[in-house]
């Protein structure tokens, strides 16, 4: 038993570094609020939030997988390509939940303020999952190619995330569609980029969501820095 304690401590330290405990706590709050709503309303309204939260966990889990491979196979950067690719494909699913506020409406039995708080909890958790996973991947990039490239990488991912959220919400594409309809997705994006004045909503939405994600990420980075109080 004692021989396992160092392994458990290393696992705890590894998971703590990747914010697993507050993420689990935040996820638990979402599920408790949703379960309470189901019991009180006798309906499964907003059940899409649970599915979207599951999808939001995927990029986080892929980033943990990549980090674990980095620790166990240090120096073999190519082993990170597959989990990194999956992470990038599914990344927009995490912050996507912020768009579920479009479903907010007055519904029987449940006060509007409760649904607002429940949606906020799901949206916050999705953003937290996105930010934590991006931080992990950025640090892995930094280890291999340096600080500057890692920040260019983060900026590019957040921009692609904004585009992905638009495609998911308004064009109804899913992350896994990249495997089955890659040409159609690329055409959807290309036609909008080629006709900017006819697609101002696309550019406006993407710009605002990307800016929101960048600010959220920078705030997370600043909070994660060590603070010394003398």
pLDDT average, residue stretch 64-68: 95
Q: What percent of the chain has pLDDT over 90?
A: 79
Distance CA 108, CA 110 (A): 6
Concatenated DSSP letters for 70-85? HHHTTT-GGGGHHHHH
Give per-residue pLDDT as tens, 119-167: 999 999 999 999 999 999 999 999 889 999 999 999 999 999 999 999 9
Q: Which helix H or strand E contains 19, and what residues bound it? A: none
């Amino acid at each position: 038993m004692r021989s396992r304690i160092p392994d458990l401590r290393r696992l705890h330290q590894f998971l703590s570094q990747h914010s697993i405990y507050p993420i689990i706590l935040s996820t638990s709050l979402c599920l408790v609020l949703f379960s309470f709503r189901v019991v009180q309303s006798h309906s499964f309204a907003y059940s899409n939030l649970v599915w979207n939260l599951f999808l939001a966990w995927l990029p986080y889990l892929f980033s943990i997988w990549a980090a674990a491979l980095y620790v166990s196979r240090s120096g073999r950067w190519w082993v990170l390509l597959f989990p990194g690719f999956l992470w990038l494909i599914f990344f927009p699913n995490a912050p996507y939940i912020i768009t579920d506020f479009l479903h907010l409406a007055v519904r029987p039995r449940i006060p509007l303020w409760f649904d607002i708080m429940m949606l906020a909890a799901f949206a916050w958790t999705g953003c937290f999952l996105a930010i934590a996973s991006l931080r992990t991947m950025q640090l892995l990039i930094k280890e291999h190619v340096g600080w500057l490239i890692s920040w260019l990488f983060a900026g590019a991912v957040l921009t692609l995330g904004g585009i992905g959220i638009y495609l998911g919400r308004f064009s109804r594409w899913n992350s896994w569609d990249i495997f089955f309809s890659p040409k159609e997705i690329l055409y959807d994006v290309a036609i909008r980029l080629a006709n900017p004045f006819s697609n101002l909503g696309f550019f406006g939405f993407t710009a605002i969501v990307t800016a929101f994600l960048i600010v959220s990420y920078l705030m997370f980075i600043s909070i994660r820095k060590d603070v010394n109080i003398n």
